[in-house]
Structure 1
Amino acid sequence: MSGLRERKKQQTQEALSWAALRLSVERGFGQVLVEDIAAAAGVSPRTFNNYFSSKAEAIAWRNLNRGRQVADHIRERPRDEPLWETVTEALLTRYGAGEPDKGWTAGVRLMLTDPALLGEYLKANADAEQEWAAAIAERTGSRPTDLYPRLVAAAMGAAHRVAIDQWLRADPPVSLAVLLRDALRQLAAGLPEPTAR
């Protein structure tokens, strides 16, 4: 029974988070009420408040949830696979899909200028990096608090943030998967200086 309850909880969180994101991109973050989000997800505002303390937290939850899934993918990858290949494939499974739509990316860019949402994203990113460090520690036989897994997780987080920023601003549009793969390739190579153009 608890498995069914957990799945239902996850589905409700996903529906609320997606509704909050979609409405905020369409209307602007400040123009969306909790009541709007709840109605779009087919639940009551009270149900929304049982899951999230704010619309910013609801939107950022998507990022944290994806981060947890990346950690699960790291754990599931073959143990003999090189770590940076594992990290790359794990991130691409959750963040690399789809081509950018100019209207969508413009809405996300605008939405991310809100300080409350930015704060929630930073918290979600920090929590995701802890999850990644724990998964990397398991693969490398270290502790999640050791320097190496924390450095790798922080580097993954930096690559992810920079790739997302590039993806949101690219003109003409560029695939997020291409940007993520390139960022992680450069990290795995030790960030060599670029050749002069």
Structure 2
Amino acid sequence: MGTGLRERKKVATRQALHEAAVALSIELGLDKVTVEAIADAAEVSRRTFSNYFASKEEALLYGDRQRVHRLVDAVRDRPLAEPPWEALTAAALEIQEDLGARDPHWVTQVRLVRRHPALAAHQVSTYAAMEDDLTATVIARSGVPPVRARVMAAALLVAMRVAVREWLDRPKGTPLSSVMEESFTEMAAAFT
């Protein structure tokens, strides 16, 4: 029981730091946000912040890491008979449906990434690290060669990023899923 409670507290602290980073970035602008301000807003010490995140950018983009973890889980849950690219894209479409519900500041975060090259670079680094889990999942479920699995995983993450960026420039009310499907179709030629 104690371990479960401790883990829940860690998750809650990490989430509080992420939410504080997002809220302060919205309120003050990314350039004016400090690690100290994030820690204060989450009611933890600077040292506690450092136990969870290496930088304010990492705290801000923690939601991306969570989304990629959900993506990996969704791919694992897809039917084994499904071809790898189909499983990847179906899982991505599945998780995108609840982006706003799980993270109401997600669109604001995406807009911040677009405005700040340092955040964009950090996001690419985050996605590259998560690519390993996605690659391993593709290999485990389909047995495709490692290089092909890594290319598929990387291509999916790029196609998702492109779709979101494109979606932000589309008329209000355009479903993200339709832009993702368009992006996946463009990418699919290499995997079908």
Q: CA deviation at 1:74?
A: 0.9
Quick one: structure 1 residues 177 and 14, their matched pair in 2 at CA, closer, same or farther if it must change by over 3 Å?
A: farther
Letter in 2 for 1:164: V
Gaps of 5+ in 1: 192-197
For residues 56 and 96 of structure 2, what CA distance do their matches in structure 1 show? 22
Q: TM-score, normalised by structure 1?
A: 0.79
Percent of matched pairs sharing the same residue: 38
Letter in 2 for 1:166: E
| Structure 2 counterpart of 1:5 | 6
| Structure 2 counterpart of 1:122 | 124
1:41 aligns with 2:61: no
| Structure 1 counterpart of 2:169 | 169
Q: CA deviation at 1:70?
A: 0.9
Q: CA deviation at 1:75?
A: 1.1
Q: TM-score, normalised by structure 2?
A: 0.81
For residues 111 and 118 of structure 1, what CA distance do their matches in structure 2 show? 5
Contact kept, 8 Å, 1:163 with 1:176, in 2: the verdict is: yes
Letter in 2 for 1:126: A
Q: CA deviation at 1:153?
A: 0.4
Pairing partner for 1:131 from 130, 133, 144: 133
For residues 136 and 144 of structure 2, what CA distance do their matches in structure 1 show? 9
Moved more, 66-75 or 79-88: 79-88
For residues 176 and 27 of structure 1, what CA distance do their matches in structure 2 show? 28
For residues 184 and 114 of structure 1, what CA distance do their matches in structure 2 show? 26
Could you say what the CA RMSD is over the residues aligned between the two structures, in angstroms?
2.6
Larger RCO of the pair (alpha carbons < 8 Å, separation 6+): 1
1:157 aligns with 2:157: yes
Structure 1 segments, 4+ long, off by >6 Å, are: none
For residues 174 and 20 of structure 1, what CA distance do their matches in structure 2 show? 28
Quick one: structure 1 residues 33 and 129, their matched pair in 2 at CA, closer, same or farther if it must change by over 3 Å?
A: same
* Deviation sequence 1:142-176 (CA, Å, 0-9, x none): 46xx1110111011011111011112222335232
